Chains A and B, each alone.
Chain A
Amino acid sequence: MEQPVKEKSKAIDIFLIVMVSFCVLISLVVMFVKASGLID
């Protein structure tokens, strides 16, 4: 019974890591897109 719970919590952690990493990446893209409009 304990094993599936552990696996589920591991999956949640991995999903959070993926979500945060993806959002950080897109945030960087947004920032650099805005900044690139400022370079002549």
Chain B
Amino acid sequence: MLALLSLGLAALYGFTHQDLGYQEYIPQVVPENSEYTELIATSQGVLYAILDDEGQLQSYVTISQGQGYGGPLLVALDWSLDGIILQISVPVHHEDLPWWRVLEARHFFDQYIGRGYEEPIQIHEDIDAVSGSTVSSNGVAMAVKAGRLLVVKELGSDYKDPLPGIKFGLPELMVCLGIAFVFWVRTFRPFKNPKYARYLALTYSFFIVGIWLSVPLSLNNISSFLVGYAPSVEQFIIFYIVVWGILGLAILFGKNYYCYWLCPFAAVQEGLHFIGEGVSPSAKTQKRFKWVRYALLWLALMLVFVFRAPNVSGFEPWNLFFSLKGDFPEWILLIATLAGALLFYNFWCNYLCPVGASLDIIIKARKWVGNKWNSLLKKKARR
């Protein structure tokens, strides 16, 4: 109860302390001390007119918002008077730095310079996404498009931004198949001994969800929905499938279809445990650490709500394992976790995983609500 209350207060604090001042980012794209005046303000961004010393209109600056992997990001753009991008900067983002540095190193932002507002400015069309940082690339593209809409409005152009369709391809289908298989095996129990079906699901998940797509269910994904910063459904329906497929099934059927079955990191740990000489700690010690996962979950969510930045909760080692991009402490955590998994069965899952803790809470809450509902119905029937 206290944990829920503190999370509610943290969410309230984060919501009321959002920094909404955009004008401080204008000097990121035009000379400092430039005179400016606000022309258009919408929920997606603001357009400023930049004036020269004589008060003549010199260019436009837009500061607009997109959704990255770690939450919202702001893109500042300097536009010429005929709507060509002269300068770009990203003054605010919550992306993990190792991923962000890849965008900078591959000159992702330079692709926008010189583009006119009538050009597609579309990822996979005239803008190349950086592989491995697709969500961040798309977040920037989304903000640029929001800025473009402001310029279009100001210039009185009849340009219409083409509506993006939902992208459902082979990756999305493969993830759906994995979830459907586990759902079938665990719900309808077609096998007397589902051991081999579980190994099959874990192997499938390791190669498809982990190695190929790198979309294991992360607390980052869940918390981005909690703070309202989910990536666009048109571009990243795969995240919706992973998050709502797994959480939705847990809510509907009261079962955890992910842990020990579809988690690619569980596959890694079980593989290591198979290789290593496993040892079993006493039941008393195992029980003693049951609360740790919940404590980590609570702390991560507190930080997410206070800073309104889902990426803070993405501390799980699989992010690094499947991407090989991370900071020094993340490498230490990954190595320690893998060493732990060599000795202790599913070391991360059993003692530290906040995603497993979230699913357990959902299932327990569902059970509690179900019991309450049943006892209410029984009471009514007795009357």
Q: Which A residues contact B (CB, under 8 angstroms)?
A: 9, 12-13, 15-17, 19-20, 22-24, 26-35, 37-39
The reply on B123 being an interface residue by CB < 8 A is no
Please count how many residues in chain B sit with their CB below 8 Å of the partner chain's CB atoms. 38
Nearest chain A CB to B307 CB, angstrom units: 5
Q: B233 at the A/B interface (Cβ < 8 Å)?
A: no
Task: Write the residues of chain B forming the contact surface with A, with a CB cutoff of 8 angstroms.
Answer: 94, 96-97, 279-282, 284-286, 289, 292, 296, 299-300, 303, 307, 309, 311-315, 327, 329-330, 332-333, 336-337, 339-340, 343-344, 347-348, 351-352
Judge whether A26 and B329 touch: CB under 8 Å.
yes
Q: How long is the Cα–Cα vector from A31 to B284 in the complex, in angstroms?
A: 29
One of A12, A13, A19, A31 near B312 (C-beta < 8 A): A31
Q: Are A31's CB and B303's CB within 8 A?
A: yes
Nearest chain B CB to A12 CB, angstrom units: 5
Distance in angstroms between the alpha carbons of A7 and B128 in the assembled complex: 60
Q: Which residues of B contact A20 (CB under 8 A)?
A: 289, 292, 340, 351-352
Pair B303/A35 contact, Cβ less than 8 Å: yes
**A12-B280, A13-B285, A38-B94 are known contacts. Are A26 and B292 too (CB-CB below 8 A)?**
no
Residues in B whose Cβ lies below 8 Å from that of A28: 299
Enumerate chain B residues within 8 angstroms of A35, measured Cβ to Cβ.
303, 307, 309, 312
Residues of chain B with a CB closer than 8 A to A22's CB? 336
Shortest Cβ distance from B343 into chain A, in angstroms? 7
Residue of B nearest to A22 (CB): B336
Chain B interface main SS type: helix
Instruction: Tell whether, in the assembled complex, residue A23 and residue B336 are in contact, meaning their CB atoms are under 8 Å apart.
Output: yes
A31 CA to B297 CA, complexed, in Å = 11
B332 partner residues in chain A, CB cutoff 8 A: 26
Given known contacts A20-B351, A31-B313, is B337 in contact with A12 (CB within 8 Å)? no
Flag if A12 contacts B281 (CB, 8 Å): yes
What residues on B are CB-neighbors of A26 within 8 Å? Answer: 329, 332-333, 336
Write the nearest CB–CB distance from A3 to chain B, whole angstroms.
Answer: 16
Q: Is the CB–CB distance between A19 and B329 below 8 Å?
A: no
Q: List 10 A-B contacts (CB under 8 A).
A: A9-B282, A13-B281, A20-B292, A20-B352, A23-B337, A26-B332, A28-B299, A33-B329, A35-B307, A35-B312
